[in-house]
Structure 1
Amino acid sequence: MNAPQALSDYAHLVQTDRIHGSIYTDPAIFEQEMARIFHRAWLCLGHEAEIPQPGDFRATTLGRQPVLMVRGDDGQVRVFMNRCRHRGMTLCEDETGNEKFLRCWYHGWVYRNTGELEDVPLANAYGAQFRREDFGLTPVPRMESYRGFVFASLAPTGQSLLEHLGLARRYLDIFLDASPTGEIDVTAGVHRTRYRGNWKFVGMDGYHPHYTHRSVMDSWKRRPGGNMANLHHGDPFSDESGNLTRDAGNGHVLLDMFPSRLAHVDEYLGGIRKRPGGEDYIAAMQEAHGPQRARELLAWAGDPHVGIYPNLQLIGIQIRIIRPLAVDDTEVLMFPALLKDVPPSINEMRLRQHESFYGPAGAGAPDDAEIFERNQQGLGATVEPWVYLARGLERERQDTDGSIIGMPGDETTQRGQLREWKRMMSEA
């Protein structure tokens, strides 16, 4: 195929079975991604459990714009632009903290953690027309929450959050309902990784584990019942596993490993029962959800392995936030989520599973960052610019809920994400 006549022809850059490599390497396309996706779409800022106490805040970004997620003294979580209404200074330089009042260190303007302007030094110099109530912190144009997950958008209008989440809501529920009370604790800290590559590499890819993570896959086979092997019996990425790739629409995709986990749930529960308080955890789940639903949730193990387009992933026990910094520079934040109202041994197990694969000492995640950087380098060879994504295309089918499914190593997930990229980038 020939290259597109103009790289602004975004619809032409994504074909049914291939994409043009420029979407990963062209700075002009990245600028349009920030404008058309990250400054319009619903972006996840995190979970309310990161800021559990009145006055807690987290400074983060919405696309490129600095924002504050803060719990006010009234207990309500709000999202404000991290900018003083006077000269535009950022109010919070620290990423996290607890403040009753937010002070601008440039000229001393002070705001309550609920957003109202509290004090202006020498305010009489502004004249009688100056009204404090007109200069509170600026809220983001739109903010909505789903079970504590905080989403915001810089676009004043658009589809609701529930419309955006669509079928993917189910997988947020699965993540949270691993607790018998549906509550999580996200105060354990954060793992960070930054790689010299494009943000769209961070996807749901069931094709690479046999090669990129071969040593990890071999260890699962050698150590039945041990750590991550408790969740992944045998080879969860083989076509014989019964597992699936799933395109849930709107760019939301997942590696659906529920079939193999359900097939081995009794072995998994056997491991849980051996832990202190394990029987109590299972009993609490059954009481909260009923025997059948509890069995399903325990089989999921709180790991939907889902990507919520464009910047959230729920993998293992982590809430993963993707931050594009440049066309070839990406930061990924990984927040371990502990379960509330469970025996300590359950959260200890979850943390050990997280540490065994993710973070700087993990057995798997550093491989991904290395691969992403090599991928970025390879795309610099542009004699043949097209990237082939046809794996499993001919065997995709529609599931009963309307999602599109394929085999574990099929590129159903990549095609699903890129269809949404194409739609959003093609809108004026």
Structure 2
Amino acid sequence: MAMPGVSAGVEQMLREMREGVPEGRVPARIFNDREIYELELERVFGKAWCFLAHESEIPRPGDYVTRYIGNNNIIVARDEKGEIHAHLNMCRHRGNMMCKSEMGNASHFRCSYHGWVYKNSGELIGVPYFNEAYERKLQRKDWGLVKVRIDSYGGLIFGTLDPDAESLADYLGGFQFYLDIYLKQGLGGSEVHGPPDHWVAETDWKICAENFSGDGYHTPVAHQFGFHLGYFASSGATHSKGWAVHIPGKGHGIGLGHTPGMPPFFGYPDELVKQMHESLSPGQLELFSKTRTAVGNVFPNLSFLIQPLSLEPGDPGVRFCTMRLYHPVGPGRMEMWSWCLVPKDAPQEYKEAAYKAYTLAFGQAGTFEQDDFENWIKVTKMTGSTLARGVDFPYIQGLDREPLKDFPGPGYAVEPYVTEDNFRNLWSTWVRYMMEGE
């Protein structure tokens, strides 16, 4: 049976991809194609749980940010009672954008076209000329802002456009165990430090999501200057040591790099290490204490990286954490959002040092960021060519590898860190969404 709304060419490609991914084949066409992009808006971003904001970005009553799920602009606001709401940023009268600022504080939103007024919790409370124009017949309770279903984990606010989507807890499927390395580094949890960086780049969001699902293979090549200059507390020879873990069928994956001989939790202040022994479980402590680099992606497009940055050779350096969102804005084009995440109860000196390390490495002009984007932009350009439409890529690293039986965390875990198991899981999940249950 033909897939409704899908061309024969794309339908055939998706069917072949569904069979090919388990064997290690992924078509180049998916990284830069208009029909693929439009289908993603409907079937991936229209169904999945997508990251919207961190609770620390809207700490006070009235605080709000505007973010996106696919091509839907969303207001995420904390009301006067402290409850968080998400609504489509569109006036119900004629569709004007309600809030034109990316962040701020407001108890109400007033449309600049006809003046309808909404509370920050979404209710319509003000209609100009209500008596004269509407003869008091408009039922205001029926015309509030369009509500978006939300839930949160560890301060991360997610939204879904699908009213029938599974719960966020089920969607994460055990990946919470690994998210805690980013979110529970202290008893008070984590918070964003400084406003997010964001910029537009000519690259496909999926390339970035794949990379941050645990691509340890590219690091000694793309970021080789980091080894030569001593920014890494390891060498290219030891970088592949560690574990790759994914949640089968969910698309989430993480790479946990390990440097033998380094002390537990190196790069963190002692006060923070003590807090982690209270905030993390024994299994998490066993795993995370050995971890040098933790790079993970929550399907579809939310990524994290923890890494120590050494400013002098041999120095364990300071740990920083970047949280990243790859927002699609067109075929082969995305808007990048990047935050620095720090433990809320960490010493201020450490927060400042971590932010400096984050900015140097993965801020908008960060050295490692530039390495990645140069490659990602070129990949996107090349995969959009006419000849590339018929090309497959090999994803066969670790194809016959057996999962570890005594791994302390949930999911499918293998070693070493350099493998493509996580990517095959990512693409299997992606094509399932794209085929909408076929």
After TM superposition, the score normalised by the length of structure 2 is: 0.85
What is residue 179 of structure 2 aligned with on the other side? 172
What is residue 138 of structure 2 aligned with on the other side? 130
Aligned partners of 1:402 and 1:291: how far apart in 2? Answer: 17
Aligned partners of 2:359 and 2:107: how far apart in 1? Answer: 35
User: Is this contact kept in 1: 2:239–2:259, CA < 8 A?
Assistant: no
Post-superposition offset of 1:329: 0.5
Offset from partner CA, 1:7-58 (integer Å, 9 cap, x none): 2131312412111111123211221111110111111112111111111111
Secondary structure at the counterpart of residue 354 of structure 1:
helix
Change (3 A) 1:74 1:389: same
Offset from partner CA, 1:265-297 (integer Å, 9 cap, x none): 34x54x65xxxxx44434444455589966865
Moved more, 209-218 or 66-75: 209-218
Change (3 A) 1:187 1:86: farther
AA paired with 1:344? Q
What is residue 313 of structure 2 aligned with on the other side? none
Post-superposition offset of 1:344: 1.1
What is residue 386 of structure 1 aligned with on the other side? 392
**1:306 maps to 2:296:** yes
Pick from 199, 207, 213: which aligns with 2:217? Answer: 207
Q: Equivalent residues in 2 for 1:251-290 (5 A)? A: 251-257=251-257, 259-260=258-259, 263-266=261-264, 269=266, 272=268, 278-286=269-277
User: Is this contact kept in 1: 2:61–2:82, CA < 8 A?
Assistant: yes
Post-superposition offset of 1:399: 4.6
AA paired with 1:388? P
**1:407 maps to 2:393:** no
Q: In structure 2, list runs of 5 or more residues that go unmatched.
A: 1-6, 307-320
Offset from partner CA, 1:103-142 (integer Å, 9 cap, x none): 11111111111222221111112123322222222211x2
Change (3 A) 1:137 1:7: closer
Change (3 A) 1:291 1:347: farther
Pick from 113, 116, 119: which aligns with 2:126? Answer: 119
User: Is this contact kept in 2: 1:236–1:260, CA < 8 A?
Assistant: no
AA paired with 2:251? G
Change (3 A) 1:53 1:24: same
What is residue 349 of structure 2 aligned with on the other side? 345
What is residue 246 of structure 1 aligned with on the other side? 245
C-alpha RMSD over aligned residues: 2.5
Moved more, 399-408 or 93-102: 399-408
Aligned partners of 1:238 and 1:282: how far apart in 2? Answer: 23
Aligned partners of 1:87 and 1:132: how far apart in 2? Answer: 15
Change (3 A) 1:212 1:133: same
Pick from 374, 378, 386: which aligns with 2:378? Answer: 374
User: Is this contact kept in 2: 1:8–1:29, CA < 8 A?
Assistant: no
Aligned partners of 1:214 and 1:96: how far apart in 2? Answer: 38
User: Is this contact kept in 2: 1:81–1:137, CA < 8 A?
Assistant: yes
Post-superposition offset of 1:372: 0.9
Aligned partners of 1:56 and 1:298: how far apart in 2? Answer: 36
User: Is this contact kept in 1: 2:54–2:191, CA < 8 A?
Assistant: no
Post-superposition offset of 1:374: 1.1
AA paired with 1:58? V
Offset from partner CA, 1:288-344 (integer Å, 9 cap, x none): 55899668656558x642100001112121221110111210121011112212211
Secondary structure at the counterpart of residue 350 of structure 1:
helix
Moved more, 415-424 or 279-288: 279-288
Change (3 A) 1:237 1:409: farther
After TM superposition, the score normalised by the length of structure 1 is: 0.86
What is residue 200 of structure 2 aligned with on the other side? 194
Offset from partner CA, 1:215-251 (integer Å, 9 cap, x none): 112223xxxxxxx53xx43348644x2x122222210
Change (3 A) 1:343 1:31: same
Offset from partner CA, 1:382-421 (integer Å, 9 cap, x none): 3851111112213353555341424322122221210101
Q: In percent, how many aligned pairs have the same letter?
A: 28
Offset from partner CA, 1:72-92 (integer Å, 9 cap, x none): 111011101111111111111
User: Is this contact kept in 2: 1:102–1:112, CA < 8 A?
Assistant: yes
Secondary structure at the counterpart of residue 151 of structure 1:
strand
**1:319 maps to 2:323:** yes
Secondary structure at the counterpart of residue 167 of structure 1:
coil
Higher helix fraction (1 or 2): 1
**1:42 maps to 2:33:** no
AA paired with 1:185? E
What is residue 335 of structure 1 aligned with on the other side? 339
Pick from 8, 11, 23: which aligns with 1:8? Answer: 11
Q: In structure 1, list runs of 5 or more residues that go unmatched.
A: 221-227, 273-277
> How many residue pairs end up in the alignment?
402
Moved more, 394-403 or 56-65: 394-403
